[in-house]
């Protein structure tokens, strides 16, 4: 492959105690927690708003806070959910504890909470590289409307979802034993008749139950068998936007490698075509959608699976399903192990026996003393990952990473040497106040 060399002197635009990369649920939790610990914190986000897959990807609801009707996730995540509800932009669906939300309100509440914590918010900025000195991340390089910028910090938290910073730094990743889960381009439609009883599926209330709209799925399969051009689809899952007659659809499917730009671009382009095909099929064949139109399409495809770091502990599917407890449990997850097939729209669901536990060791690696990872890219095998990748545990691992960075900052120690008992105590205090 032909190569070229490019050199340029870049000014150091800012120095911080903690830099959080990625403004999705994990990044929101991490930035707020780090700032509340007293650390001078910056949060970098590629879009002009926060929320990541929740807002840019229109991935709804925020799953899930309860296990067997008992709330297992608190702290910043629960505070955030309650701020959303108070703003009129979300509802709590018991007994599962899903939070159905309006993506636009999500953006507003996230921005308010992050800024109120004192975080420097750098939106429309993309991390393009980093420099590692003696095993530590020395600085990161950004691209935005001002050109190239360099920032440095004592500690970094990778909340990009796809371990972008960790990968640039050379962190070892877990191997993929199966094809990555597919991407989805979510979209909303208005003019939908939401009154019929079968449309109540938009509210995901029943424990240990797959809330996909079988009446739509069965019709699409019938049409395909009859020779109609029905694109690859999954579910579908219908989610409320809280606006009358408006529904978000998790419907499209495409095999996609989130770490390969050309591959992912092709998948997004295919799914954009599929959105319009599926919307037409809905109007023509599902009475509740006969007067419906496409209202909006997600700014980016929802990514289920990307890179995952090889941490000090690799959480396994068996550990998750059995609810194995760890001495350094810093987060919980209540979602099923949810594996989607990239090729046929199929799905495997395996419900945990009790809430799963996530140890701190899944957020850190053997080396890299000033780097933590939160959210989708934590150290978990493909089965455990298929449950921990959803929003509530992502925000909770973000919170833990932010608290840990703050504690390490106070002592000037590597992230591998954090006082776990102190970390757990701070997490518990945030749970008590949420």
Q: What is the pLDDT of residue 434?
A: 67
Integer Cα distance of 103 and 89 in angstroms: 8
Q: What is the pLDDT of residue 193?
A: 95
Q: What is the DSSP string of 248-274?
A: EEEEE-B---TT-HHHHHHHHHHHHHH
Residue 51 in tokens: 């929320």
Residue 220 in tokens: 């699409």
Q: What is the pLDDT of residue 333?
A: 97
Residue 306 Cα to chain centre, angstroms: 11
Residues 6+ apart with CB under 8 A from 377: 158, 160, 161, 162, 163, 166, 306, 307, 308, 309
Where exactly are the structural domains of the chain? 12-178+305-335+358-433, 187-297
Residue 115 in tokens: 């800024």
Q: Which of 184, 174, 185, 177 is nearest to 347 (CA)?
A: 184
Residue 363 in tokens: 């957020």
Q: Which of 45, 117, 105, 46 is nearest to 76 (CA)?
A: 117
Q: What is the pLDDT of residue 431?
A: 85
Q: Which of 132, 70, 58, 128 is nearest to 95 (CA)?
A: 70
Q: Is 394 left (phi over 0), alpha (psi -120 to 50) or beta?
A: alpha
Q: Which of 81, 58, 64, 383 is nearest to 208 (CA)?
A: 64
Q: What angle do CA 305, 55, 183 make, to 5 degrees?
A: 30
CB–CB of 148/10 below 8 Å?
yes
CB–CB of 336/349 below 8 Å?
yes
Residue whose token pair is 């959910």: 81
**CATH class, 12-178+305-335+358-433 region:** alpha beta
CB–CB of 171/387 below 8 Å?
no
Helix (H, G, I), strand (E, B) or coil at 429: helix
Is omega for the bond preceding 236 within 30 degrees of 0, making it cis?
A: yes
- Going residue by residue through the chain, which has 434 residues, state the pLDDT in tens, using 9 for 90 and above: 799 998 889 989 999 999 999 999 999 999 999 999 999 999 999 999 999 999 999 999 999 999 999 999 999 999 999 999 999 999 999 999 999 999 999 999 999 999 999 999 999 999 999 999 999 999 999 999 999 999 999 999 999 999 999 999 999 999 988 888 999 999 999 999 999 999 998 888 887 878 889 999 999 999 999 999 999 999 999 998 888 899 999 999 999 999 999 999 999 999 999 999 999 999 999 999 999 999 999 999 999 989 999 999 999 999 999 999 999 999 999 999 998 888 888 888 899 999 999 999 999 999 999 999 999 999 999 999 999 999 999 999 999 999 999 999 999 999 999 999 999 999 999 887 66
Q: At what angle do helices 75-86 and 391-411 cross, to 10 degrees?
A: 130
Residue 389 in tokens: 């990748």
Residue 19 Cα to chain centre, angstroms: 18
pTM over 0.85: yes
């Amino acid at each position: 492959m032909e190569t070229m060399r490019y050199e340029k002197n870049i000014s150091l635009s800012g120095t911080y105690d903690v830099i959080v990369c990625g403004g999705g649920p994990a990044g929101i939790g991490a930035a707020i927690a780090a700032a509340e610990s007293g650390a001078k914190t910056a949060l970098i986000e590629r879009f002009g708003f926060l929320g990541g897959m929740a807002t840019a990807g229109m991935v709804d609801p925020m799953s899930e806070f309860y296990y067997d009707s008992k709330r297992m996730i608190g702290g910043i995540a629960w505070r955030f959910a309650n701020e959303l509800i108070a703003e009129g932009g979300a509802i709590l669906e018991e007994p599962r504890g899903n939070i159905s939300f309006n993506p636009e309100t999500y953006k507003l509440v996230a921005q308010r909470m992050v800024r109120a914590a004192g975080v420097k918010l750098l939106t429309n900025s993309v991390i393009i590289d980093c420099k590692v000195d003696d095993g530590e991340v020395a600085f990161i390089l950004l691209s935005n409307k001002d050109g190239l910028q360099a920032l440095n910090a004592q500690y970094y938290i990778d909340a990009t979802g796809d371990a972008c910073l960790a990968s640039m730094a050379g962190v070892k990743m877990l191997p993929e034993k199966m094809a990555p889960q597919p991407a989805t381009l979510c979209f909303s439609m208005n003019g939908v008749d939401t009154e019929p009883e079968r449309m109540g599926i938009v509210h995901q209330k029943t424990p240990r139950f797959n809330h996909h709209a079988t009446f739509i799925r069965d019709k699409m399969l019938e049409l395909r068998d009859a020779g109609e051009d029905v694109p690859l689809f999954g579910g579908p899952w219908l989610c409320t936007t809280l606006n009358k007659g408006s529904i978000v659809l998790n419907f499209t499917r495409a095999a996609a490698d989130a770490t390969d730009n050309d591959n992912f671009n092709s998948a997004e382009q295919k799914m954009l075509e599929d959105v319009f095909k599926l919307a037409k099929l809905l109007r023509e064949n599902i009475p509740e959608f006969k007067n419906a139109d496409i209202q909006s399409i997600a700014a980016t495809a929802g990514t289920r699976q990307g890179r995952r770091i090889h941490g000090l502990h690799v959480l396994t599917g068996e550990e998750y399903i059995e609810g194995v407890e760890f001495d350094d449990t810093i987060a919980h997850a209540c979602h099923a192990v949810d594996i989607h097939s990239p090729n046929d729209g199929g799905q495997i669901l395996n419900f945990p026996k009790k809430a799963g536990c996530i140890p701190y060791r899944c957020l850190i690696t053997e080396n890299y003393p000033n780097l933590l990872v939160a959210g989708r890219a934590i150290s978990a095998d493909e089965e455990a990952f298929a449950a921990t990748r959803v929003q509530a545990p992502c925000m909770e691992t973000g919170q833990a990473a932010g608290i840990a960075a703050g504690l390490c900052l106070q002592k000037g120690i590597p992230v591998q040497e954090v006082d776990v008992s102190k970390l757990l105590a701070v997490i518990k205090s945030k749970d008590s106040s949420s």
